[in-house]
Amino acid sequence: MTMQITARSEQNHSQAAVIKAKLNFELCNPIDLINRALRDAALAPSANDALDCCADALLHLAELARAEVRHD
């Protein structure tokens, strides 16, 4: 289990949970993950929320790339 660190220190856990749910971390196809992150960022209520959506997607893509290198 990886520890989730929020992009902004003032972001509380409920906001992070909402963003994580929007990204649907069960997606394993990078294209689907990118499409969902861009859609959620475009519909986010603020610029900071949009950045959080994109940052979470990038972190997840990095985890996928790491798993492919390790052949998990």
Cβ pair 40, 56 in contact under 8 A? no
Tell me the pLDDT tens digit for each residue of 9-53. 555 555 555 555 555 555 578 899 999 999 999 999 999 999 999
Q: What is the pTM of this model?
A: 0.59
Q: How many CB atoms lie within 10 A of CB 36?
A: 17
From the list 6, 2, 4, the residue with the least C-alpha distance to 48 is 6
In a domain, 17, yes or no: yes
Domain boundaries, position 64: 13-70
Quote the number of domains for the chain.
Answer: 1
Q: How many CB atoms lie within 10 A of CB 18?
A: 11
In a domain, 3, yes or no: no
